Structure 1
Amino acid sequence: MAWNESTSSLAEELECPVCLDFFKDPVMLDCGHNMCRACILGYLNNQGSVLCPECRAVVSGPGSLKPNRVLRNLADKARELKLTDNLPCELQGPTAPPQECGFQSPSFETGELCCRKHGEQLKLFCETDRKLVCLICRDERQHKGHSFKPVNEAAQSCKEELNRALQFLLSDNHAVQSVEKDQQAELSRIQDRSGWLLADITTQFAELHEFLRRREEELKRDLKAAERRALEPMERNLQRIQRELGDRTEQARKLQDSQSITQPVTYLKWWSETGSPIMEELKEKAPCGPATDEWEIVTISGYESKLKTLSVIPGSLSLGPYETHLQFFIWKEMLKVIRRVPQRLTMEDCSLSLKVSRDGLSTRQIDRDQDQPHKHHHAPSAIVQTEARFDQGLHAQSREKFTSGSHYWEVEVGGKSDWAVGIKMEKIQEREAKWYQKVVHFFSRHNYLLLVFSDDKNFRINAFSVDIPILPGARPRKVGVYLDCEKAQVSFYNADDMSHIYTHSECFAKGIAAYFNPGPYLAGRNAESLTVCCY
C-alpha cells in the first residue's frame, strides 16, 4: 500500500519500540533511546533490571529515566493529526487491524522482532514483497507462490549486492572527479589565454599613444565578453558535474554507513527503506540506441554510469587577425608605428585567359577587343566559357606558399560584379585510394576555399566544391583574408571597416597559396583588375 514517505518517516520516529504506538509520557534511558514510561516501568517492576531493546544496554532502574517533554509534545501532535492513518499495517500501533503480517514489539530478552499477527519470530524474508515474515505467514494465501529466504541468507545476499554497488559507485565517482578536474583545467587554460591576449593588446595599444585609449578599452570589453561566452557553458557544465558528484557521494556515504549494521533484521529493515531505492536508482537503464563498445565499458557492472551524460565542454577563445595585426586594423593611417602590416603577395598566372601585371600585384582577364582582335572569332573554348559563368580554374595564385604561422592579406575588388578570393591547397592522395579516386585526383589536384561574389549581388563560400550562401553586412571594396595554419582556419573580412564576413575551419593540406579570380569578362562589364593591397 502506498503512503506518503515523509509522513511515514516522521511517524516511525515517534513510535515507542515496545508498544509500537505513539509515545505516551516518553522517557529517555541512559543510552539515549526513548520509550513510554509505562512500557519500561512494567518490565522494571517485574524484573528489576532489563536490556534496552534498541542497543542492548542495561537499564539500571526507575531513577535513571529522564522525561522527554519535546518528544511527548510531538507525539501528542502526531496523535491529533492521525498520522497512522497513512501508514501500512506493519508500522501502525496496536489499534491497527492485524490483517497482514507485521512487526510486534521486540522481546527484551532476545531483541528479536515478532509477527504481530501470529506472535512468531520473523525468520524469513519474502523476496517478492520485500518484507520480513514468520513461518506461518509463509503458508498463507497472500504469500502463495512467493520466494523466501532465511533472514541471514537474505541479509548476506543484500550485503553482497550493496558491496558491488558501493564499489561501482566509488569507481564511478572517481571517474567523475577526473572529468571535473579536466573541466577545471580547461577553465584555467581559457582564463590564462584571455590574460595573455589582454597583455598583448595593452602592449600594442601603448605604442599608439594616449588618443587610442578609447579604442583599446572597446577591444578589451569585446575580449572579456568573448571570454564570458566561452566560460559560461563550461561553468554550467562544471556545476552540473559537481551536482551529480555530490548526489553520488551522498549515496556512497549512505551505503558506507550501512556497513556498521550488524543485526540482519535491522539491516533488512534499512535495506527495504533506504538501500533498495538507491540500488534501483543506480541500476542500468536500457539505452534507446544500438549497443556500442563504449556502452559496454561503462555498464558492464550492471549499474548506470553518470559518464554517459557527463563530458568536458572544450573552450575556445580567439581574436582572429586582431591577435597579430591589431594595430593595422585599428589605425591604418598610423603606418609609421605599425610593426605588422598585410603581407605583400606576388601573383603568378595559372590561366591563359588572365594577365598578371609586371609587378605581380594585380590580375585581370585578357581584353578580347584589344589583346586578341585577330582571334575574336576563333577564341579557345576555355575563354568562351568564362563569359557565361564562374570558372574556378580561371585564377592567379601567389608565388608564396604557406605551411605554418598566421598570415593576412588584402585584395581590392572595387566595384566588380563578379570575383573570388581565398586559398588554394594541394590534395593529398591516400595510398589506399581506389582506382577511380586516383582518376579524380589526376584531373583535380587542388582543393579551394573561396569567398565568391557573383551577379553583382550574391555572396557564397565555396568550400571544397560545396557552396554555402552567406549575407555579409555590406558590400566590401576591399577583402581581408586571414589564414591561421595552426588552427586550420580561414577568415574573410570587409577590410573597409574590418567587419567579419565568415570563418571556415578545415583540415588543410600542404602547399597553401593565395587565390585570386577576377571573374568572367562579361563583354567588358567586369574587366577591372583584382589587386593585392600594399601599405
Structure 2
Amino acid sequence: MASRQQGESWTEEVICPICQDFFTDPVILDCGHNFCRSCITQSWERQKINSCPECRQEFPDRCLRGNRALADLAEKARTLNVNPQEKESKHHCEEHQEELKLFCETDKKLICVICRDSWEHKSHNFMPVKEAVGIYKNRAKSSLDSLREKKSAALEMEQQQKQKISQIQEESTNLQSHITSEFSQMHQMLTEKEQSLLRDLREQEENILKPMEQHLHEIQENLKSIQQKLSKLEKRLEHTDGVIFLKEEISQKRGISDGGYALSPANGALSFGIFNGPLQYRAWKEMLTHITPGPNDEKKNSAPLEICGVTSIL
C-alpha cells in the first residue's frame, strides 16, 4: 500500500496538466509551471494570449525553456509502464486500507467491504458510493432550487420596497412643491407658517421612512444570507469527486433552513390632509388676528379685504 502511494506521488510530478499524460518535450514557463511544448503552444494559439493555464500569469513573449530533468523523469515513468490515469485519487479506509466503495446509510458514513461485515455495521443499510452521491446530490439540488426561489422572492421584495420608498419620497417632494407654491403667494408673515409645515412634513416623512428603510435593510441582509448559502452550495455541487462531496455534505451539522424574514414590504402613508388642500385659506383664517385692518375695523367701514387675491367682506 505504501509503495503504491509513493508511486502515485512521484508520477503526479511528470503528468502534463493539459493533456493529462506523461510530459513530451517538457518546457518550463517563467512562473515555474511545466507543460508539454506542443500542449502549451496549441493552448496559446487557441487563446490568442500567452498565459499560464495553471496560474493565469501572462507573458509578453513566448519564452519556452526545456526541462531536461523533467523529461528524464517522464521517460523513467514510461519505462516502468506506470499508468498516468492511476494518479486519480482513491479514497481508502483508514482501518483496513481498502477502497471506500460503500455508504452506510444508517451511520451516514463511508466504509469499505470489510467494514460492512464487521459487528459495528451489523444489520445496517448500505448502498454503493455512486448511488449515495446521486441521492445526496438530488437533495442538495432541491435545497438549491429552494434557495434560488428565496433569492428571487427577496429580490422582488427589495424592488417593491424601493418603489414604495421612492413613492413616499416623490409624494413628499410634490407636497413640498405644493406648500412652497401656496406660501409664495402670501406676504412675509406667512414664512414662519410655511417653515413650520415643512418641518412637520419632514418629521413625518422621517418617521414613516425610518422603519421602512430598516425593513429594507433586513430584506437585504436576508438576501445576503441566502446568497452566501447559495454560493456555498453551488461550490459544493461543483465537486467532481463524489466522495469529497459526500463527506462535505454529511459534515454539515444541519440542513439549509427554510426560515427567514417575512418577505413582505412595509407600508407607510403621509397625512395628505395636513399638507394638501386649500392651504392659503386655512392660513388666511389663522392670520385674521394679525391682519390690519382687523375684522372689527372691517365691519365699521365695510371695505373689502383682499389677501393674496382672495376678496372678502367680514
Task: Quickly name the TM-score band, shorter chain normalised.
Answer: 0.5 to 0.7
Deviation at 1:338, TM superposition (A): 6.0
Cα 1:168–1:191 shift into 2, 3 Å: same
1:336 aligned onto 2:291: no
Secondary structure (helix, strand or coil) at the match of 2:190 reads: helix
Deviation at 1:248, TM superposition (A): 1.0
> Which is strand-richer, 1 or 2?
1
Report the TM-score when normalising by structure 1.
Answer: 0.39
> Which is helix-richer, 1 or 2?
2
Question: 145, 148, 158: which one pairs with 1:167?
Answer: 145
Deviation at 1:336, TM superposition (A): 3.3
Cα 1:49–1:211 shift into 2, 3 Å: closer
Query: Aligned partners of 2:134, 2:232: CA distance in 1, in Å?
Result: 18
Secondary structure (helix, strand or coil) at the match of 2:174 reads: helix
Q: For residue 405 of structure 1, what is the aligned residue in structure 2?
A: none
Q: For residue 271 of structure 1, what is the aligned residue in structure 2?
A: 249
1:143 aligned onto 2:139: no
Bigger RCO of structures 1 and 2 (CA < 8 A, at least 6 apart): 2
| Aligned-partner residue type, residue 243 of structure 1 | E
Q: For residue 428 of structure 1, what is the aligned residue in structure 2?
A: none
| Aligned-partner residue type, residue 323 of structure 1 | N
Asked whether the 8 Å contact 1:190–1:316 carries over to 2, the reply is: yes
Query: Aligned partners of 1:266, 1:215: CA distance in 2, in Å?
Result: 72
Asked whether the 8 Å contact 2:129–2:243 carries over to 1, the reply is: yes
Cα 1:165–1:281 shift into 2, 3 Å: closer
Larger Rg: 1
Deviation at 1:159, TM superposition (A): 1.1
Secondary structure (helix, strand or coil) at the match of 1:320 reads: helix
Matches within 5 A, 1:292-331: 304=258, 306=260, 309-330=262-283, 331=286
Question: 99, 107, 123: which one pairs with 2:101?
Answer: 123
Deviation at 1:252, TM superposition (A): 1.9
Secondary structure (helix, strand or coil) at the match of 1:125 reads: strand
Secondary structure (helix, strand or coil) at the match of 2:103 reads: strand
Q: For residue 235 of structure 1, what is the aligned residue in structure 2?
A: 213
Query: Deviation per CA, 1:289-342, whole angstroms, max 9, x where unpaired?
Result: xxxxxxxxxxxxxxx3647x221111111242442243344433157336799x
| Aligned-partner residue type, residue 226 of structure 2 | R
Secondary structure (helix, strand or coil) at the match of 2:265 reads: coil
Asked whether the 8 Å contact 2:8–2:86 carries over to 1, the reply is: no
Cα 1:41–1:157 shift into 2, 3 Å: closer
% of aligned pairs identical?
Answer: 31
Query: Deviation per CA, 1:379-406, whole angstroms, max 9, x where unpaired?
Result: xxxxxxxxxxxxxxxxxxxxxxxxxxxx
Query: Aligned partners of 1:310, 1:260: CA distance in 2, in Å?
Result: 30
Asked whether the 8 Å contact 2:103–2:132 carries over to 1, the reply is: yes
Secondary structure (helix, strand or coil) at the match of 1:207 reads: coil
Query: Aligned partners of 1:152, 1:197: CA distance in 2, in Å?
Result: 67
Query: Aligned partners of 1:312, 1:137: CA distance in 2, in Å?
Result: 55
Secondary structure (helix, strand or coil) at the match of 2:269 reads: coil
Question: 170, 176, 179: which one pairs with 1:201?
Answer: 179
Q: For residue 225 of structure 1, what is the aligned residue in structure 2?
A: 203
Query: Deviation per CA, 1:449-472, whole angstroms, max 9, x where unpaired?
Result: xxxxxxxxxxxxxxxxxxxxxxxx
Deviation at 1:49, TM superposition (A): 6.1
Secondary structure (helix, strand or coil) at the match of 1:315 reads: coil
Q: For residue 177 of structure 1, what is the aligned residue in structure 2?
A: 155
| Aligned-partner residue type, residue 310 of structure 1 | L
Cα 1:329–1:132 shift into 2, 3 Å: same
Query: Deviation per CA, 1:260-282, whole angstroms, max 9, x where unpaired?
Result: 32222122123234xx457x133
Cα 1:337–1:320 shift into 2, 3 Å: same
Secondary structure (helix, strand or coil) at the match of 1:281 reads: coil
Cα 1:315–1:258 shift into 2, 3 Å: same
Query: Aligned partners of 2:177, 2:267: CA distance in 1, in Å?
Result: 23
Deviation at 1:109, TM superposition (A): 4.5
Question: 272, 277, 281: which one pairs with 2:256?
Answer: 281
Query: Aligned partners of 2:189, 2:15: CA distance in 1, in Å?
Result: 89
Give the aligned length. 240
Cα 1:327–1:262 shift into 2, 3 Å: same
Deviation at 1:186, TM superposition (A): 0.5
Query: Aligned partners of 2:177, 2:146: CA distance in 1, in Å?
Result: 47
Cα 1:134–1:340 shift into 2, 3 Å: farther
Query: Aligned partners of 2:137, 2:244: CA distance in 1, in Å?
Result: 12
Which runs of 5 or more structure 2 residues have no equivalent in the other structure? 33-84, 292-304
1:132 aligned onto 2:110: yes
Query: Deviation per CA, 1:476-516, whole angstroms, max 9, x where unpaired?
Result: xxxxxxxxxxxxxxxxxxxxxxxxxxxxxxxxxxxxxxxxx
Matches within 5 A, 1:357-372: none
Secondary structure (helix, strand or coil) at the match of 2:127 reads: strand
Deviation at 1:175, TM superposition (A): 1.7
| Aligned-partner residue type, residue 235 of structure 1 | E
Which runs of 5 or more structure 1 residues have no equivalent in the other structure? 1-17, 20-38, 67-106, 283-303, 342-533
| Aligned-partner residue type, residue 127 of structure 2 | K
